[in-house]
Amino acid sequence: MSYSQIEYSILGAVARIDHARPEMRNAESSVLLDEMDDALSAAIANDDVRAIVIGGKGPHFSAGHDLKEGQMKRANFTVEQRYEYEEKRYLGYCLRIWDCPKPTIASVRGAAIAGGFMVANMCDLIIDSDDAFFADPVCRTLGAAAVEVLVHPWVMGLRAAKDFLFTGRRVYADEALRMGMVNRVVPSAELDAETMKYAEEIASAPPFAIKLTKRSLNRVADQQGFRNSLQAHFDTHELSHMSQEFQAVRD
Ligand code: ZN
């Protein structure tokens, strides 16, 4: 598969998958998400790859789902059509990042909003530039129940997640670091180099031991209800697409 909206590169033992629509602030169209999922499969299948970075070309990680495309192509979807579309591309693809047997690192510069927030937070680790920020304004601006994958309480804590979603405000890199939502913050000019250093450090560890350690850590979250709560929220989110509040914004 040749890619038009992402860049896929292999640098030694590290695979990089970058959102590559900088002129659209890396908005996640259906093509972009399909390509990202395809590249993830390629990185998993490549025995030389021991760590996977997900990033973005240009000044932003991603402004979220491509809402213009959604308005043009999916505004009048039935419940069944929307559920199928979002179950595959949003919930399904996100869980594939979560379940990836190799360690994943999100490298975030600028905005990681809504769908972009979701993708970054499905990665095992996050490294941020000091100008990075996160937001999920979907509840306030679209009248929907947050984004499709409610990873928020798992990565920022329950009370912070409520503040984040009820206000729709931005959380900048330093606050994200204090919350424990990101692992490292570096100056913007050094983000790419520091990301590679971080990824190479992890790629140098015994891969089978890392794979099993990740399985155990993810099972801690599953024992606490991670997967079930994500699936339950997905259904709730789909319900919110049919609310009068949501439809009034859409129209
Ligand atoms: Zn949705």
The set of residues, in sequence order, having a beta carbon less than 8 Å from that of 195 and lying 6+ positions away, is 53, 55, 105, 107, 127
Distance 77 CA to ligand 1 centre (A): 11
Q: What helix, strand, coil percent values describe the chain, rounded to 5?
A: 55, 15, 30
Distance 147 CA to ligand 1 centre (A): 6
pLDDT of 251 reads 82
pLDDT of 1 reads 72
Model pLDDT for residues 100-126, shown as the tens digit of each residue: 999 999 999 999 999 999 999 999 999
Distance 39 CA to ligand 1 centre (A): 23
Distance 193 CA to ligand 1 centre (A): 35
Distance 37 CA to ligand 1 centre (A): 18
User: Which residues of the chain fall below pLDDT 70?
Assistant: none
Model pLDDT for residues 147-177, shown as the tens digit of each residue: 999 999 999 999 999 999 999 999 999 999 9
pTM of the model: 0.96
- Contact present, 194 and 130 (Cβ < 8 Å): no
Distance 86 CA to ligand 1 centre (A): 6
pLDDT of 34 reads 98
Distance 58 CA to ligand 1 centre (A): 26
Percent of the chain at pLDDT > 90 equals 94
